[in-house]
Amino acid sequence: MANAKKVQQCLEKSNAKYMDSAKSDVLGALAEFKDLLPDTENYTFPDGKKRTAFRLHGTIPVFYKGNSYNIPISVYLWDTHPYYAPICYVNPTPTMVIRESEHVTKQGRVFLPYLNEWRFPGYDLNGLLQVMAMVFQEKCPVFAKSSSTTRNTPTPTSATSQQQKSTPTYPTPYPAANPPMPTPYPTTPMPSYTGQPPYPSTANLFGSGYMNVPYPQQPPAPPIPPLPSAAASTGTLQPEHIRVSILSALEDKLKVRLREKISTSFAEMASIRETQSELQAGQRTLRNMIDELEKQQKTLEAYIFAHQDKKSELTRTLAECGDSDSNKEINVDNAIDAATPLHRQILSNYAQDLACDDVIYALGQALKERKISVQEYLRYVRDISRRQFIFRATMQKCRKAAGLQV
C-alpha cells in the first residue's frame, strides 16, 4: 500500500497525463522486481527539454554462468507513459565499467527492439525489464575494473557482498578491462543452477499485461570453490572442464534457437496486431452502419404506421358515406366553397373578372377572323368592361373588409 502511495505521489510530481494506466503499469513491474524503487529526478529528455521525470532505479537479477547477479539500472518514464516507450540506462557502480554492445552505449543508454516496437496495450514495464534481463544474460553490460595490484582478480559485482569479501581472489563472470590472455577453459566447474528458468516465459517476453509468470529472485550465489592444484599447476583438462565446455556449447545452441523462436513470435505478433486493428476498424464501421440502418428502420416503421392509420380513416369515411351517393353527380363549384360569405363573394367576383378577360380575348380573335365587325366588337367590349369594373371594385372592397392585401 505504501509502495502504491509512493508511486502515486511520484507520478503526480512528474505531471503524468495517464495516471491510472501509468500507475497500474509501474505497480505491475514493482510486483515482479522487488529491488526497484520509484522516485523523481530532474532529467533532460532526448527532445532537449529538462523537467521532472518519474524514475525506477535499483537492480534486476541477471543469470550469468549459472549464478544470479544484480545489474543496476534506471528507467525514466515520459509524461505520456504508457503510450510512449521508456528510456533505460545501466548505472554502473564505482567498481564497474560499462561494456559497450549493440544494445548498450558507452553512456549506459539501453536500446532494444522491444523499445522500438513499443505499443500500448501489449507492451509494459514488466515485459521490458524481463527482456532486459534476458539480453543482459547473453552479453553482460558491465564488468569489474582491473586491479593494478593483482592479476585478473577484479572485485565481483554480484549482489553477494558478504560472500565476495570472503573470496576476493576469484574472478567474477564479468570480464575485466584489458584482461590478459584467457585460458581456453574455465579453471573451476561452474555451480549448477536448478529450480528456476534461465529465461522469462514467452508471454512475459512480449509484455502481455500483468498476468506474467513472476520473475524469480535468486538467492546469493554460492561461493566459488578453490582451484584444484593439478589443474592450476599442469593445465591438464579435467572431466569437469569438458563437462563445462559441453554445457556452454549446449547453452549457446539453445540461445540461438530461442532467439529464432522469439523473432518468429515477434513477427507473428506484429501481424496479429495489425490484423486485429483492421478487424476492430471494420467492426466499428459495421456497427455504425447497423446503427444507421436501425434508425432508418424505425423511421420507416413510423411512416408505415401513419400510412395505415390514414388508410383506415379513409376507409371508415368511405363506409360512412355509403354506396347510395356514389351514383350522384357532384357539382365541382359546390364542392369548392369558401369558409365565410365574405370570402365566397371575393371568390365569385374574382371568377367573374377572369371570365370577362376570357370574353374580351375571344372577341379579339373573332375580329381578327372577320367574324364580327368593328362596331360590334367595340359595343361588346364596352359592355363587358363596364361589368368587369364593377366586379373588380366589389372584390377590392371585400378584400379590404377581410383584411387582405389589395
pLDDT at 385: 94
CA 135 distance to own-chain centroid = 28
Relative to beta strand 50-64, strand 67-77 is: antiparallel
d(CA 169, CA 120): 47
Fold of 2-218: Ubiquitin Conjugating Enzyme (3.10.110)
Q: Which residues does 220 contact at the CB level (< 8 Å), separation at least 6?
A: 158, 159, 160, 162, 163
The residue assigned the cell 361589368 is 387
What pLDDT sits at residue 242? 73
pLDDT one digit per residue (tens) for the chain, 406 residues: 557 888 888 888 888 888 888 888 888 888 888 888 888 888 888 888 888 889 988 988 888 777 778 889 899 998 888 888 899 999 888 888 888 888 888 888 888 888 888 888 778 888 888 888 888 888 888 887 765 433 443 333 443 333 333 333 333 444 433 333 333 333 333 333 333 333 333 333 333 333 333 333 434 433 433 434 434 334 455 677 677 778 888 888 888 888 888 888 888 888 898 889 999 999 999 999 999 999 999 999 999 999 999 999 999 888 887 655 555 666 766 667 777 888 889 888 999 999 999 999 999 999 999 898 999 999 999 999 999 999 999 999 998 988 888 7
Distance (Å, whole) CA 126 – CA 138: 19
At which residue does the C-alpha cell 573451476 appear?
188
| CA distance linking residue 252 with residue 344, whole number of Å | 110
Q: Decide: 86 and 109 in contact? Cβ < 8 Å.
A: no
Residues 379, 365: Cα–Cα separation, whole Å = 15
Are 399 and 346 in contact, with CB atoms under 8 Å apart? yes
In sequence order, what DSSP letters do the residues of 234-260 get, joined into one string? H-PPPHHHHHHHHHHHHHHHHHHHHHH
The C-alpha angle 34, 8, 22, rounded to 5 degrees, equals 80
From residue 17, give the alpha-carbon distance in Å to each of 20, 80, 82, 84, 243: 9, 6, 10, 12, 55
For 134, other C-beta atoms within 10 Å of its C-beta total 22
Residue 361 has a pLDDT of 94
Question: Mapped to the 3 state alphabet, what secondary structure does 120-147 carry?
Answer: CCCCCHHHHHHHHHHHHHHCCCEEECCC
Query: Is residue 237 within 8 Å of residue 185, measured between CB atoms?
Result: yes
- At residue 147, the pLDDT reads 59
Q: Where are the domains of the chain?
A: 2-218, 243-319, 338-402
pTM: 0.39
DSSP 262-295: HHHHHHHHHHHHHHHHHHHHHHHHHHHHHHHHHH
The edge-to-edge listing of strands for the beta sheet with 87-90 is: 36-44, 50-64, 67-77, 87-90, 109-110
Q: Tell me, what's the pLDDT at 387?
A: 93
